């Protein structure tokens, strides 16, 4: 495992389990104790939940499920287009890895099911539904090392595939920069699941400085362009980004999607704590 990734995971895991933010991941959790059903014990669950009397009669370990204790299905969908290969503090790709790990460790801490996906022009499963902490580490390693250059995101395709591949009502965390997604439509997906959008950005891409004539390479399409970044062009671009985000956030509100923006120079745990609580 990469040395920097190992440090990131150790720091993230320590922060999450000390804060126990996983207990506050969703408004679905209630305070009632109404008995719901008996079901077979799943590997990784707290053995204290086993009903030993019933288990002895049946011959297999079973647990009682109460409405207040019903488990959540938490899914992380990392939007890994070429645009995340950028950052003036750390790369957006690394921040996405850190955020996804926080969510994963939080799910494990609260004994909820956790799965993860990579989204580009199609949906790729990273880890199946699990409560094993190793699945979080595998996801983090996959995201951290994923070759994003040359990748584009097909939001319409991803939306349709998520609708099919996540059949049960779940919490979906969509983590990405959400740039160039004018055709994004999460209306139907938001009716089926609880959606939370985590917008990952670098401050420079929202507020660039005047650089004069520059050549840039689009990390998604690999196309080269000649640009002139003077004060006038910078102001026009900044105004465009502000307008773009305003429209995007209004869409989120319309669909009932919770959202937060996290920059590459910020501590994501602080922002996520506010969101979860």
**Beta carbons of 50 and 58 less than 8 angstroms apart:** no
Count CB-CB contacts under 10 A for residue 273. 15
Instruction: Confirm whether 150 is domain-assigned.
Output: yes
pTM (two decimals): 0.80
Examine residue 7 and state whether it is found in any structural domain, yes or no: yes
CA distance 136 to 230: 44
Cα–Cα distance for residue pair 12/22, rounded to 1 Å: 13
Residue 161, φ and ψ in degrees, nearest 5: -70, -35
Same domain as 15, residue 43: no
The verdict on 60 and 143 lying in the same domain is no
- When divided into structural domains, the chain yields a total of 2
107 and 161 in a common domain: yes
Is 50 within the bounds of a domain? Answer: yes
In this structure, the answer to whether residues 63 and 88 fall within a common structural domain is: no
Residue 29 included in any domain: no
Point out which residues pair with 7 in neighbouring strands. none
93-128 b/e (C-beta count within 10 Å ≥ 16 → b) = bbbbbbbbbbbbbbbbbbbbbbbbbbbbeebeebbe
**What are the respective helix, strand and coil percentages of the chain, to the nearest 5?**
45, 25, 30
**Structural element, H or E, at residue 91:** none
**pLDDT tens, residue order, the chain (277 aa):** 777 887 888 878 878 877 654 454 444 343 344 555 677 887 767 777 788 888 887 888 888 776 545 568 999 999 999 999 999 999 999 999 999 999 999 888 888 899 999 999 999 999 999 999 999 999 999 999 999 999 999 999 999 999 999 988 899 999 999 998 888 999 999 999 999 999 999 999 999 888 788 887 888 888 888 877 788 889 999 999 999 999 999 999 999 999 999 999 999 988 888 877 6
Q: Which two tokens stand for residue 47?
A: 């053995």
Beta strands 73-79 and 113-119, pairing class: parallel
How far apart are alpha carbons 51 and 45 in whole angstroms? 13
CATH number, domain of 198, equals 3.40.50.410
DSSP symbol at 57:
H
Same domain flag for 55 and 16: no
> Do 109 and 71 form a contact (C-beta atoms < 8 A)?
no
Tell me phi and psi for residue 137, to 5 degrees.
-65, -40
The domain of 57 spans 35-69
């Amino acid at each position: 495992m990469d040395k920097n990734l190992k440090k990131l995971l150790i720091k993230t895991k320590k922060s999450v389990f000390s804060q126990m933010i996983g207990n506050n991941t969703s408004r679905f959790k209630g305070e009632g104790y109404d008995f719901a059903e008996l079901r077979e014990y799943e590997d990784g669950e707290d053995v204290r939940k086993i009903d030993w009397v019933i288990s002895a009669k049946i011959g297999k370990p079973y647990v009682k499920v109460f409405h207040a204790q019903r488990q959540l299905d938490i899914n992380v969908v990392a939007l890994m287009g070429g645009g995340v290969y950028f950052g003036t503090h750390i790369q957006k790709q690394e921040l996405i890895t850190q955020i996804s790990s926080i969510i994963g460790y939080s799910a494990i801490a609260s004994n909820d099911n956790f799965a993860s996906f990579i989204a580009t022009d199609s949906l790729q499963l990273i880890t199946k539904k699990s409560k094993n902490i190793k699945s979080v580490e595998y996801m983090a390693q996959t995201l951290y090392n994923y070759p994003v250059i040359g990748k584009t995101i097909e939001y319409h395709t991803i939306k349709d595939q998520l609708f099919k591949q996540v059949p049960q009502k779940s919490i979906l965390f969509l983590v990405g920069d959400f740039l160039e997604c004018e055709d994004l439509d999460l209306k139907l997906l938001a009716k089926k699941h609880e959606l939370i959008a985590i917008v990952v950005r670098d401050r420079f891409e929202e507020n660039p400085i005047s650089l004069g004539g520059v050549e840039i390479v689009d990390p998604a399409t690999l196309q080269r362009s000649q640009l002139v970044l003077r004060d006038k062009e910078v102001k026009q671009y900044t105004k465009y980004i502000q307008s773009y985000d305003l429209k995007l956030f209004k869409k989120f509100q319309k669909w009932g999607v919770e959202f937060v923006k996290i920059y590459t120079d910020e501590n994501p745990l602080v922002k996520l704590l506010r969101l979860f609580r």
